[in-house]
Structure 1
């Protein structure tokens, strides 16, 4: 259970920071991670915010937010983070680990190079496992919490999102096993499944998809070109009404600190709709629902869609 702040309610309002509690947020340079770090700092926690460059550190540094160099695929960075927690000058306990870092590179299963499949699994799955393995002893001592940021794509995979969704499906399974392994130790494991959220990763993914499409063979262009363009266009249109990162971060902060969390939470209306539907609808019907807006237009009745420069939504 998350411990309440010490002192009277009046003291808490004047100085809400909890000097005995640390929180780690990976992928905290922008988007959901940065918003989550800010929300947790505002609640009084001292946030160790994982970033990869000095520029990102300068951008995220704030009262209650201490940037730490953390590429979760680099063992030395993970080791340094563990030492930072163990050697905390104020002896503060690690209360929450928010595994948020991630990348998104979308292309058809047949087309996406294996190196890019592996890169996504290294960041979106194996990197998180490395951090969990290193920090779990601290969380066991504090009876703390792990919050894994998955995706609606970890439950229902859109066309072209196979590799990204595969990493999230795997993270969901690992989270289930971990939750059942450590619950007796007093450690809670929670999965958050965002739908479309305004983030820099989302802004980049559509352009990356189009760059990969431009490099495809003539045969793959014929087979998948229209599908990729339609998918990028559909997701870009959806992103215009997606959940702001600040709201997503605030919700994750509440999930990270609520005394009795559920095993899973959705973020956004799309996730709240798709996740339960995926449990109950037949696979063929889900196929139809998830591909309706991503179907390319008929070549005979409409011209091939022009390359779209707008971003896709993260799923």
Structure 2
């Protein structure tokens, strides 16, 4: 019996389709499993065969999905359109992402482009391809952003910058497709224990080793202190499984808000960024 056939058995949901990109590890994998446990048929986007084997389970169908490759996105759209049980596409969770942090002066422009290609343009490609299916089902787009899009730490320019652009695009999209019955939700995530987050600090330190003596003098201490703070915080952050339960609730609630925070740091920082003057935030955030 195939995964598709097994998922025809209804549990707490109607067995509808939900796409989760970046489902190899972390929040994406945990969310795929949580949604599958509730009876949704999850099309879990992965980039490697090994990741497909790891995530494959009842109601989880791995699909090859590098969101920077047009052929992968076209194949995903065709898979949804040709679903053998003609199930509706209930939601698309745009979760895939990469994070590479360094001071703006020293982070190579190609690395900036790489992050925007994945964290912004890749998701736009997915949304463009799947809007017809979402229009038919009156479904939902759920875009995973970051608290950094609103309150950005020093040396964290490129990743939050891509997320801020993604949020602006999401606001425009929400206003464009609301008359069509499609909902658009932004989740502003704070610290979550994931492989991507765990690699972020060591990667920044590795990049700093290639800096010139002058850049080391200017930014070395700042990089070390920021990475140390982030690493310390992540030890107390929520787990991917905890995040997945909250995301699943947001995905399945009948009348979602336009924005949600995820994590205690996001719940604290977002209102602070909204109400404090920018100059005061400039003093508070680096501390």
Shorter-normalised TM range: over 0.9
8 Å contact 1:18–1:46 — kept in the other structure? no
Q: Which residue of 2 aligns with 1:18?
A: 14
Unaligned runs of 5+ residues in structure 1 are 1-10, 293-315
Partner of 2:74: 79
> How big is the shift at 1:238?
0.5
Query: How far apart in 2 are the matches of 1:147 and 1:94?
Result: 13
What's the offset of the Cα at 1:16?
2.9
Residue aligning to 1:45: 40
Q: How does 1:83-122 map to 2 (within 5 A)?
A: 83-122=78-117
Match for residue 226 of structure 1 among 217, 221, 236: 221
1:204 is matched with 199
Runs of 4+ displaced beyond 2 Å:
15-19
Q: How does 1:135-214 map to 2 (within 5 A)?
A: 135-214=130-209
Task: Measure, in 2, the Cα distance between the counterparts of 1:145 and 1:203.
Answer: 30
Q: Distance in 2 between matches of 1:24 and 1:284?
A: 41
Per-residue displacement from partner, 1:3-29 (whole Å, max 9, x unpaired)? xxxxxxxx97xx33523x100000001
| Distance in 2, Cα, partners of 1:89 & 1:272 | 42
- Larger Rg over CA atoms: 1
For structure 2, which runs of at least 5 residues remain unmatched after alignment?
1-8
Q: TM-score, normalised by structure 1?
A: 0.87
Q: Deviations over 1:210-247 (max 9, x none)?
A: 11100111111111011111111110000010011101
The answer to whether residue 267 in structure 2 is matched with residue 264 in structure 1 is: no
Cα root mean square deviation, aligned: 1.0
- TM-score when normalising by structure 2: 0.96
Aligned to 1:297: none
C-alpha deviation, 1:287, in angstroms: 1.1
- Corresponding residue of 1:312: none
Write out aligned runs for 1:243-282 (5 A).
243-282=238-277
